[in-house]
Amino acid sequence: MLKDITLGQYFPGDSAIHRMDPRMKLILTIIYIVGVFFISNLPGYLLALAFLYLVVRISGIKFDYLLKGVKPLRFIIIFTFVLNLFFVQGETVLFDLGFWRLTKEALENAIYFALRLVFLVMGTSVLTLTTSPVQLTDGLERLMRPLQKFHFPAHELAMMMTIALRFIPTLLEETDKIQKAQMARGADFESGNLIARAKAMIPLLVPLFVSAFRRANDLAMAMEARCYRGGDHRTRLRELKYTKLDLFGALAMAGFIALIVVEGKLLG
């Protein structure tokens, strides 16, 4: 199931979307999501879907792939849907069971909220699918750089993200190895009740933490040896530059936002 999550995965390619500046993509993604949160009628969502579909087509990624990414989150989506049904107060009663009545407002709210979640996941998926983790961290770091004036650790956060990304495959491999080593000693990770299973994780988690700490220690020393001294005065191999593509992207997004604003006014 873990491998089904498209959120955070990168789909290598050379489309116009791929080539856009990561900063622009980040900004546009945020605008898109915020925009979607203000939509409150079905045609509006159809517009949002059409826009997303267009972007995905340009990027060369299969739309199915994006939909598959929503699947692992279906429980959260259903959960919020049901929650909204129950807890949103409304006037127009659709039907009444005495202890609970379903109102039109609650139903609408539940549907819109679920849709917003779906678009949130799909929108960010498009971002991560078309932007390599390196570009993404670069983009984030540079976008947040002005905040450093207020002591916001933009560089440190980006560095942490890079290191996390770098070590995920290493630690996954290590987990597999330790798990097998403990299984060779008769450990059982698969059977028993919840408590027994949680307990069975100790022989896996302790060595993993020990190893992660050792790696962190080694890495810190290696970074120091390579003159690492924080983000000040640091240059980067890759410079980010806005191009015409980014301008097109910004205009397209502006168009989309204008459309939903107009549409919202027209349909209430």
Partner 1 sequence: MQNKQDENRIIASSLTYTYPEAAKNAVDGVTMRVKKGEFLAILGHNGSGKSTLAKLFNALYVPSAGTVWVCGLDTRDDDLVFDIRQHAGMVFQNPDNQIVATVVEEDVAFGLENNGVEPKEIRVRIDEALKAVNMTKYAKKAPHMLSGGQKQRVAIAGVLAMKPDVIILDESTAMLDPSGRQEVMNTVHRLNKEEGISVVIITHYMAEAATADYVIVMDGGKIAMSGTPREVFTQVQRVRELGLDVPPMTDLAYMLRKNGVNVRADVLTVDEMVEEVCRLSSSN
Partner 2 sequence: MSIVIEQLNYVYMSGGPYETKALSDINLTIGDGEFIGLIGHTGSGKSTLVQHLNGLLMPSSGRILVDGLDLADKATDRRAVRRRVGLVFQYPENQLFEETVEKDIAFGPKNLGLDENEIARRVKDAMRRVALDYDELHERSVFELSGGQMRRVAIAGVLAMEPQVLVLDEPCAGLDPRGREEILSLIRNLHKEAGTTIVMVSHSMDDVASLAERVIVMNHGEVVMDGAPRDVFSCGEELRGMGLDVPQAVMLAQKLREKGYDIPEGLYRTEEIMAEIMKIAGKEAQHA
Please tell me whether residue 181 binds partner 2 under the rule CB under 8 A: yes
Site residue total, partner 2 (CB under 8 A):
18
Which option in partner 2, partner 1, none does residue 259 bind, with CB closer than 5 to 8 A by kind?
none
Q: Comparing C-alpha atoms, which of 136, 126, 128 is closest to residue 56?
A: 126
Helix, strand, coil distribution of the chain in percent, nearest 5: 75, 5, 25
Min CB(2)–partner 1 separation in Å: 17
d(CA 253, CA 256): 5
Q: Comparing C-alpha atoms, which of 47, 178, 36 is closest to residue 113?
A: 36
Min CB(165)–partner 2 separation in Å: 20
Please tell me whether residue 234 binds partner 1 under the rule CB under 8 A: yes
Position 15: which residue type? S
Compose the 184-223 pattern: x for residues touching partner 2 by CB under 8 A, - for all others.
Answer: xxxxx-------------xx--xx--xx------------
Q: Which residue has the tokens 């699947």?
A: 71
CA neighbours closer than 13 Å in the CB half-sphere of residue 146 = 1
Number of Cβ atoms within 10 Å of the Cβ of 106: 20
Please tell me whether residue 226 binds partner 1 under the rule CB under 8 A: yes
Please tell me whether residue 61 binds partner 2 under the rule CB under 8 A: no
> What radius of gyration do the chain's Cα atoms show?
23
Please tell me whether residue 169 binds partner 1 under the rule CB under 8 A: yes
Interface pick for partner 2 out of 180, 197, 199, 234 (rule CB under 8 A): 180
3-class secondary structure, 190? coil
Binding site for partner 2 (CB under 8 A): 174, 177-178, 180-188, 202-203, 206-207, 210-211
Binding site for partner 1 (CB under 8 A): 133-134, 162-163, 165-166, 169-170, 173, 214-215, 218-219, 221-229, 233-239
